[in-house]
Each structure stands twice: as structure tokens, then as C-alpha cells.
Amino acid sequence: MSTDIRITDSHCHLDFPDFDEERDQVISRAVAAGVHRMVTICTRLDQEPRVRAIAEAHAPVFYAAGIHPMRAAESPLVNVDDLVKLAEHPKFVGIGETGLDYYYTAESAEVQKQSLRVHIEAARRTGLPLIIHARSADQDMARILAEEYRNGGYTCVMHCFSSSAELARAALDLGFYLSMSGIAAFPKSQDLRDIFASAPVERILLETDAPYLAPPPHRGRRNEPAYTPHTGQKAAEVFGMGWAEFAAQTEANFGRLFTKAVL
């Protein structure tokens, strides 16, 4: 795997305790593997200072912040102005992750919907991309994204996309992006790979969602940004492209969407 090829891990969680004992080394291994840029995601605003500090301490790391849908009912509803204020930081490059998760937390669906709309408004005001988590909520997700887009445009990535072809098409029709995680490299994920194959390659990003969802040959172990190329090489096959060509394409895609994440 050539380290002359540079790619971006568009979604990871470097603040999670899984990395506490070797965070610097994890980042160094990523860079050595050709992952020259990482976006670490804050899922609870009370953790934002910690996530920000990681980005400030490491040149290749940028960050985004929001309230994960599974956390939406645990704290007061997030304020648009607070998110806009956080976005003033030079290394703050996205809004979220936010979204809907009815698999684990269907009981808080209404709060999740309110929180999602707040994050969308923050993305609209700041011009930064919205980072969406969607699980077992395809119909509501497609409806809210479209309703809000009619109220004013915004940009968006469907992070760790593993939902239906219908939600993929709804997102793509709005001009949004789909992100491929280690799930797309799992042997039994052919249906998901087929969904990605039908998308424009110009709308594809790569991510790890580390410490979760390690791709083969690391499946079942802690994931880390250095493993992004394993997903990327499988993704290149999906699109019938060479690894270098596909990596360059995803770099261009990331730069087009995450306009503040400039090294």
C-alpha cells in the first residue's frame, strides 16, 4: 500500500477513551499510512473543549461538533447560536454529527428531530457541511432533509452510510455526499457496495468511524485512521478505478465539501 498516496479520514473519534494511552502514536501511524488529514467528531458539546484541544495539538487533525442523536435526550436542546459560535474556530470544519437513530433510541424520536433541525440551521448559517448519522429512520430522514433544503440550501455528508438505496438517492438528489466506512469492505456487504456503485464517484468520501468498524484485515479489533486505505482500496474496486485515481478523487471530493479543512 503506497504511502505516496494521500487520503483523508473524514470521520473518526480521537477523543474516545480507546485512544487515551497512545493518541499521538495513532495520529502518527495514520500519517505514515498516507492519511494526511483527519476530522475528529465531537458527539457531546460538553466534550467540545477536549476535542478542540486534540485538533489544536495536531496539525493533521480538524474537528466538528454537535449532539449525536442517541445523546439528544440527555441534555438541553442545542442552540443554533452556540453552534455558530463554535464554528468560528479555524479548525472547526463541520456541524455534527447529528441525525436520527431509531434502532437504539426510538423513544426520543421527537427530540432527535428537533435537534436535527437545529443543526441544519447551523449548517445553513455557517456554510459548513452537516454530518448525518442515520439508522433505522430512513423515511423521516429523507423527509426532513428535503423539507429543510427547501427552506434554504446547505451541504451534507451521510456519514458511515449503510442505509437503503432510497435514502442514498434522496441524499444524492439534494447534492449531498455519501461516506464509505469499513462496513463497505465487509465480505457480506455486497448490497451496500451496489448502492455506492450507483452513486457518482464525485460524491464519495472515506472514513473509519474509529474506534468502530475496522475493515478487513483488522475487523473485530479497534479501528484507527491508519486503516482508512483498506476501505479505500476496496472502494476503488467498487468504482472500477485504480487506487491512486480513486484516492485523488476522494481528496477532491473532501476538499469541495470541507472547505475549511486546509493544511
Task: Tell me the helices (H) and strands (E) count for the chain, helix number first.
Answer: 10, 8
Of all helices (H) and strands (E), which one includes residue 256?
A: helix 243-257
Q: Any binding-site annotation on 218? A: no
Bridge partner list, 180: 206
Q: Any binding-site annotation on 159? A: yes
Read off the C-alpha cell for 67.
Answer: 449532539
Local structure of 100: helix, strand or coil:
strand
Bridge partner list, 132: 98, 158
* Cα distance between residue 232 and residue 247, in whole Å: 7
Edge-first strand listing for the sheet containing 35-42: 7-12, 35-42, 61-65, 92-101, 130-135, 156-158, 177-180, 204-206
Q: Any binding-site annotation on 133? A: yes
**Measured between alpha carbons, how far is residue 69 from residues 49, 108, 173, 253 in Å?**
20, 9, 24, 26
Q: Any binding-site annotation on 68? A: no
Q: Any binding-site annotation on 209? A: yes
* Cα distance between residue 229 and residue 246, in whole Å: 11
Q: Any binding-site annotation on 82? A: no
The distance between the two most distant Cα atoms of the chain, rounded to a whole number of Å, is: 48
Q: In sequence order, which residues have a C-beta less than 8 Å from that of residue 21 and are 6 or more positions away? A: none
For the annotated binding site for a divalent metal cation, the residues are: 11, 13, 97, 133, 159, 209
For the annotated binding site, the residues are: 11, 13, 97, 133, 159, 209
